[in-house]
Structures are given as C-alpha cells and as structure tokens.
Amino acid sequence: MAVYAFIFPGQGSQSVGMGAELAAAFPSARAVFEEVDDALGEKLSQTIFEGPMEALTSTENAQPALMAVSMAVLRVLEEQGGLDLAGKVTLLAGHSLGEYAALAAGRAFGVADAARLLRTRGLAMQKAVPAGEGGMAALIGATLAQTQEICEKAGQGGVLEIANDNGGGQIVISGTMAAIDNAITLAKEMKIKRAVKLPVSAPFHCSLMRPAEDVMAEALAKADIAAPIIPVIANVTADKVSDPDAIRQALTKQVTGRVRWRESVEAMTGMGVDTFIEIGAGKVLSGLVRRIDPEVSTSSVGSPAEIETLLKSF
C-alpha cells in the first residue's frame, strides 16, 4: 500500500490562469479564492486568472496566489472527492512559501491567515534589499561542496550563500549582485555544467533578508497557530515540526535560511514515503523529487482532470 506525502510548490510555479478551471467547476475552489480576496482586501483572484503576468509574478502577489491555488485543489479533493487527508497522507511539505500551504493544509492556520502572512512576507522580502543590489543564480551540475567553495571565493567583500539545495544537481545561490556575477564566472572556470542568473526581484533565503526575517518574527508571534493534523517537514531543518512555537521559529528562520529540499525529500523517503503528490500549480517539485529519488512515484494535481485521476488511484 502506497505511503503518501502531499507537497506544495513555491515561487516560480505561477502562471496566469492557474486555478481558473477549478474555480469555474467547483464552488469549494471558488470559496478559497474569495476567502483570499477578502483577507487581502483586493481581487487577487482576478490577477491570478487574468494577469498580467508581471503583476502575478510580483513577490507580494505570487506568494498568496500560489498558496490559494494549492488550497483550492485540496478543498476540492476533500469536499467534492471525500478525501480523508489525515487518514490518507502521512507527511506534508512545501518549497519555501509552499510551507505555508502545507501548514494550512494541515490546519495549523486558516487560508485567510496564510494569505495575510504571505502578503506580509512578500512585501517584507521585496523591501529588504534595494532593487538591483541583490540576486540569485542556479548552478546545475554542482555538488554542495563545489557550491560552498564558489560562495566562499566569489562572496569575498559581499554576501553569497546557498539559498536552495533542490537536489538532482541543482543548487541556488543568493547574495549581492557583484558576488553573483563573480560566482557565475568562477563556476565556468570550475567547469560547472551551467550557471545562470535567475529572474528574481530580490536575493531570497540569505542573510540579506534579515530585515524581512524581523518582520516575519513579529507577524508570526501574533498569528494563531495550532499543531497540524499531519506532521509537516520544515525547510530549514528537513525534519518534522508540529509544536506551534517550533513552527513560528521554523517559518521565521526560513526567510534567511537554506531551503533544504533535497534533505527534506530524503527525510520523507526515510520515513517510508514512496508516493509524492504535488498539490497546486505546475510540476516543478515533481521533477525535483524524481531527480532526488527515481524510485518513488510522483504526480501533479492542479486541474479537475488531475483531481479525478488522483481520486481514482486512492
């Protein structure tokens, strides 16, 4: 019998029109988007369904938008599909902002609170570093040790840190723009397969985000957080987190800390998970999981047809 983990995507998975088919087909999905709109005091759903892409990709919009789509999918699975989440799913995890969706799925907090926290998080991350002063780059085919060496050499006089260990030879670095440029040059000299700047508006998951971490510490201290009904794997520890204060601490540290996605997937397979279901927009995490462990089963669920297929498999 399969052992399931539900995983929730992060920034970069967004696309204009995501969730629109769901909202048109299911009242429970529409209710999620309306709840997010009400929580934020604006029609974020219109930006999600109609664009423009530039507005959707803006960090303060992309973060609550991706969570909304994930929760709309989950709500349909539970309300229309009769899914008993706690009875079927062993672990929950999300990539960066996806951890908020995982916690909302596990009832640690509600959709409205998740939307407000993610709007605060997105705005704080955007304001932490002046535009153009920081950036991120993906190193393809680099080991963790090679990446650490690049960060140490290229980051002298600036900030350069490992932001995401995504697995499958994909590591993302984050820091000051000069250090990022140095790193790309050095990676080519070291014959790293590929080093490319990412189209992001800020250097996420590094110490330059300290002002945003302080903002989130304050916001999370005020948030009403319960123990989730299913254990959630935290990005910063790659381990289970369930105590509300530990959740606050993990989400606060996540702003500047490394997203340990490879380690998280390895931890989940070590706990017996053999089937990963990506809930929400895109298929990015499914691809990463397959590269980390080709033996496991993966699928992505974001449309009415994909929901129907998943429910038949349970």
Q: Which of 200, 224, 243 is the last residue of a domain?
A: 200
Is the same domain home to 166 and 308?
no
CATH of the domain at 221: 3.40.366.10
Q: Which of 143, 174, 200 is the last residue of a domain?
A: 200
Is the same domain home to 150 and 288?
no
Rounded distance between C-alpha atoms, residue 166 and residue 265, angstroms: 10
Q: Which of 200, 222, 249 is the last residue of a domain?
A: 200
What is the mean predicted confidence (pLDDT) over 198-217?
94
Is the same domain home to 194 and 236?
no
Is the same domain home to 38 and 118?
yes
Percent of the chain residues topping a pLDDT of 90: 96
Cα torsion through 193, 195, 199, 204, rounded to 10: 110
Position 272 pLDDT exceeds 90 = yes
Percent of the chain residues topping a pLDDT of 70: 100
**3-class secondary structure, 174:** strand
Question: What one-character-per-residue DSSP string does 110-168 give?
Answer: -HHHHHHHHHHHHHHHHHHS-TTSEEEEEEES--HHHHHHHHHHHTTTS-EEEEEEEET
Is the same domain home to 55 and 181?
no
Q: Could you list the residue range(s) of the whole structural domain that residue 172 is in?
A: 134-200
Is the same domain home to 121 and 216?
yes
Rounded distance between C-alpha atoms, residue 242 and residue 108, angstroms: 9
Is the same domain home to 254 and 306?
yes
Catalytic residue (one of 45, 96, 286, 300): 96
Position 314 pLDDT exceeds 90 = no
Is-catalytic flag, 205? Answer: yes
187 burial type by CB count under 10 A (0-12 exposed, 13-18 middle, 19+ buried)? buried
Is-catalytic flag, 96? Answer: yes
pLDDT at 167: 94
Position 132 pLDDT exceeds 90 = no
CA distance to 38, 47, 61, 174, 223, per residue, from 42 (Å): 7, 10, 11, 32, 21
CATH of the domain at 159: 3.30.70.250
- Please give the tally of structural domains in the chain: 2
Whole-model pTM?
Answer: 0.96
Q: What confidence tens digit (pLDDT) does each residue in 232-250 have?
A: 999 999 999 999 999 999 9
Q: What confidence tens digit (pLDDT) does each residue in 133-145 have?
A: 999 999 999 999 9
Catalytic residue (one of 13, 45, 174, 205): 205
Tokens 């988007």, residue? 33
Position 201 pLDDT exceeds 90 = no
Q: What confidence tens digit (pLDDT) does each residue in 62-109 have?
A: 999 999 999 999 999 999 999 999 999 999 999 999 999 999 999 999
CB atoms within 10 A of CB 274: 16
Is the same domain home to 271 and 296?
yes
Is the same domain home to 101 and 43?
yes
